[in-house]
Structure 1
């Protein structure tokens, strides 16, 4: 994106892998919920998220050490126009699908066109910026773009490549995701599954890319199995008993108190802490602005004031985890909390009429005194609600001028016990404001159906953000995606400031301008008061079987897809 890649053209392996890692062994992880599809490329169905990263490959691959660099995978070479208006890829002649068929230019073109028009909505934004895609010689493909966007040349290398002939005569968007498992090019294939309960991936012994420098020392485990459980407690008990071999813990208090069970004491389980340098992203409770109840920013501000983070954090983590303070907190892309200055102020000034209070003059999340009653912030919340037309009557119920009560539902997915505990404490605060709140937990299929259709008032929200934000920002909070079924813009925000700053970020020609545009975007998102933030995770806490090993050299981005299980290996523990 800017400057040169860190690795030379003749690099031997990625810097954070063990190129001599042995092959063999297995890893078994636990997921809460269920699945009813093994096709991650369409909107229909709920899919184990790991499939996207382990069974599918794209023309290029990402290094977890470099936010803005990609290296050839299915493509052996890449040419980019000086003005980045087109990009051209040459396919490796040895590239194969898991059934042994060669990857062809026809497969690539069909994949881009089909995903862009019939695939999951996440692929549509990129495709809308492609003016043409055409073959170049025997193994070349050129994409020409219709808009100025410096990231498009990179995004073009990251689309999954599927086999055209598998889908002849089939309805791609509506095919049953268990009957039509996509043929792909990746190092793992689906070996078996028990619908809703488990999926087993097997390392392909004939995988075409084993000797690529990008793959050397990666994809070492013979088996990757994913087991599904009804709730977090059942998943943790399965790990304690050895039924699964790896577990992530997001709660610092539980990490300190619950991971002293016999298998840890005996050395059968190792506790690893993996730091990272990427943004915190946003985790919390999102308010759906399609609901008129949350369309007024003063109401959303009141909801933020009523969330007693200091009390909740003490109860949940012993006060050990810092709060997420903005979408890009914990990184150089994060907003400052004082008045906007310099280039950031210049970017914001273009959209001044669309900004909410705090974007230009400074904003910080409300802080309570840590007591359960949170009286000062509750009083401020009541003031904001009154300004928005809501008052508490003699019966203690918050109503508007039409005497309609302030009533809404918080939608949760079954099994999310930590979120449920946070919500329980939050509801008590909201009830003190006179609100009528219903908490409804539903199974994973119903939860997906309702969130895909934006049929909720408030729900759990998680967006991981990277050090290389780009076009995915349009998916997360762009106006064009606000009403797309199954979209990622759960809050339903339509803001010319957000749309404009995303475009400013995508067209920035220097690192300095890119950083300033992202910091400005962070200000607009944070002061929008769309999500009530929880605490952040600036390290991964991973408990795993002692036989599962990873390199000591950790990537800048830490524990992201591409690291585990990709660079891990199995090594038998020494005999006692």
Structure 2
């Protein structure tokens, strides 16, 4: 299926992403970042949804950790990541089969200026909140203003680029922007819309478990036990069940999120049938521990799904706000000492390749070797700010796979020596201050895989005279500390899309490096990074968009901010045979908007399995023999 995905990207969908295409000049049913939407007005359903799917049944997943808030739109509290997707609804909905295309949801149409300096939405007259009240322009304006001023910091950057928001007619709302940024019109379509009246007399930013946001989504929170479980119920009176974007979605009656203390307990819950869907991120465990009775009997289906997304970046991030990690040579030394080949063999049997850059596994990833052509031209604009290797070429070190990793150890010591660190009495010490090299690794309780990786890493660091401390804290403390950037090194994951845009500022833009609760965990403050993000946002040609992204990929990777681990270009999922999904898998693969959205429940006749119905050649379904 991987080849099929890239064929689709290369031939049609990617062309939408990269072409300099048309802008809308009148109300339309959808909008694309570049080019035009693939689906025509009045389409039946999304291509990866089944409009004939029955309703009913439940999906229950096992989550590690806990939660102390049900408001995913504010900074305070720890919220299950799924809630913003399950209970939230926006003016437009995103297709997972196109890099960045939106179709009508709460809004029945969208209109933009030719230069996208403004965008106007017309609300669907049928749009209603779960309490039966109509969604109004007043609710839309209040939601934008409140999220932009009191909401999570991720909404701040967008709101600062809004010059004005106003009602322009019956069911019409227009946003005018104060900066040249073609993506803003689409981002406006993705802002969640809340009910203004619910929050009168309440402190929106301080809410938690006491107030469940009222939205217009297909699911509502029916019940919860703080930190333990959340039950969501399908709204039988959901207003939008028959709009094209929603047909064949929200088929399950109940969605349950069950929380456990660690990965072992979560896996046991799935094995015994307490939960009925799980994702496996460790290929070694997938190959060795998924032969339990429910798999052998056919009650559970195992499936592997490739996707066309960039790898993103997963690993252990170094906080450059800390003096110890401000020198790139020190960060490279930490990467050299991380014996990936040995760790990968121990954790996955060597089956999962390493992430090589932020946008690898996609047409937007940097090329090997020296920069050339337009990529080089863009990089040279910031020649004084580039990290070592950005233009010349940078690649991660490769060890011989032995535990000693002599080559990597020697390289790490040489780099540390050049940065002013020497071993004295077996301890790496600063030549000028005489203080030992010390840092703390922050981990979240229950992350047993990360803990195992770090244990092996610490043993490697001890060979170069470094003995870091490890702090393991619960999910609430972990969020509090990472929100305040109170860590030296910690686990890091940033998923990236085929349409990088304004979110790149929040991930690694200088303006977000000190914003509490921001996503720039490494603390990047680079004119080159900011400038290249500007370029990709204002590009109107295929060459410039790709070149800007490839150049950004080079600067981030050569910046040596993260110690990358293995990639997940294949999603490994296991689920009860009574759960089903359409044969056609979107380009984004297993991604929010696909599961549980287009799944349904249907009893399987005795002797059958869901795999036999869904295999379809490309789905990669595996069944127990």
Return the TM-score normalized by structure 1: 0.99
2:231 paired with 1:230: no
Deviation at 1:394, TM superposition (A): 3.0
Deviation at 1:158, TM superposition (A): 0.4
**CA contact under 8 A between 1:398 and 1:435: conserved in structure 2?**
no
Q: 1 CA distance for matches of 2:431 and 2:378?
A: 37
Q: 2 CA distance for matches of 1:395 and 1:369?
A: 25
Which of 296, 304, 308 is equivalent to 2:327?
296
2:543 paired with 1:512: yes
Q: 2 CA distance for matches of 1:258 and 1:477?
A: 38
**CA contact under 8 A between 2:376 and 2:551: conserved in structure 1?**
yes
- Which residue number corresponds to residue 273 of structure 1? 304
Q: 1 CA distance for matches of 2:288 and 2:510?
A: 44
Deviation at 1:143, TM superposition (A): 0.4
**CA contact under 8 A between 2:93 and 2:105: conserved in structure 1?**
yes
Deviation at 1:399, TM superposition (A): 3.3
Deviation per residue, 1:216-261 (Å, 9 max, x gap): 0011000000000000000000000000001100111111100000
- Which residue number corresponds to residue 171 of structure 1? 203
2:56 paired with 1:27: no
- Which residue number corresponds to residue 452 of structure 1? 483
Q: 2 CA distance for matches of 1:219 and 1:344?
A: 43
Q: Note the 1:530-549 alignment, pairs <5 A.
A: 530-549=561-580
Return the TM-score normalized by structure 2: 0.91
- Which residue number corresponds to residue 57 of structure 1? 89
2:161 paired with 1:129: yes
Q: Note the 1:247-266 alignment, pairs <5 A.
A: 247-266=278-297
Q: 2 CA distance for matches of 1:62 and 1:301?
A: 38
Deviation at 1:396, TM superposition (A): 3.8
Give unmatched runs, 5+ long, in structure 2.
1-32, 608-625
- Which residue number corresponds to residue 389 of structure 1? 420
Q: 2 CA distance for matches of 1:566 and 1:395?
A: 56
Secondary structure of the structure 2 residue equivalent to 1:29? strand
Q: Note the 1:13-412 alignment, pairs <5 A.
A: 13-175=45-207, 177-412=208-443
Q: 2 CA distance for matches of 1:443 and 1:173?
A: 23
**CA contact under 8 A between 1:393 and 1:399: conserved in structure 2?**
no
- Which residue number corresponds to residue 556 of structure 2? 525
Q: 2 CA distance for matches of 1:440 and 1:394?
A: 26
Q: 2 CA distance for matches of 1:484 and 1:463?
A: 17
Secondary structure of the structure 1 residue equivalent to 2:441? strand
- Which residue number corresponds to residue 18 of structure 2? none
Deviation at 1:512, TM superposition (A): 2.3
Secondary structure of the structure 1 residue equivalent to 2:205? coil
**CA contact under 8 A between 2:421 and 2:428: conserved in structure 1?**
no
Q: 2 CA distance for matches of 1:507 and 1:263?
A: 52
Secondary structure of the structure 2 residue equivalent to 1:343? helix
Q: 2 CA distance for matches of 1:308 and 1:533?
A: 11
Which of 443, 447, 453 is equivalent to 1:422?
453
Q: 1 CA distance for matches of 2:413 and 2:327?
A: 14
**CA contact under 8 A between 2:353 and 2:566: conserved in structure 1?**
yes
Deviation at 1:425, TM superposition (A): 0.5
**CA contact under 8 A between 1:398 and 1:433: conserved in structure 2?**
no
Deviation at 1:573, TM superposition (A): 1.6
**CA contact under 8 A between 1:39 and 1:47: conserved in structure 2?**
yes
Deviation at 1:367, TM superposition (A): 0.6
Q: 2 CA distance for matches of 1:553 and 1:515?
A: 28
Deviation at 1:55, TM superposition (A): 1.0
- Which residue number corresponds to residue 26 of structure 2? none
Deviation per residue, 1:54-107 (Å, 9 max, x gap): 111100000000012110100011111001100000000000000000000000
Q: Across the two proteins, how many residue pairs are aligned to each other? A: 575
Q: 2 CA distance for matches of 1:372 and 1:288?
A: 27
**Aligned CA-pair RMSD:** 0.8
Give unmatched runs, 5+ long, in structure 1.
none
Deviation per residue, 1:108-132 (Å, 9 max, x gap): 0000000000000000000010000
- Which residue number corresponds to residue 564 of structure 1? 595
2:475 paired with 1:439: no
Q: 2 CA distance for matches of 1:349 and 1:544?
A: 50
Runs of 4+ in 1 over 6 A off after TM superposition: none
**CA contact under 8 A between 2:68 and 2:209: conserved in structure 1?**
yes
**CA contact under 8 A between 1:354 and 1:497: conserved in structure 2?**
yes
Secondary structure of the structure 1 residue equivalent to 2:279? strand
Deviation per residue, 1:413-462 (Å, 9 max, x gap): 00001111110101111111101211111111111111111110000000
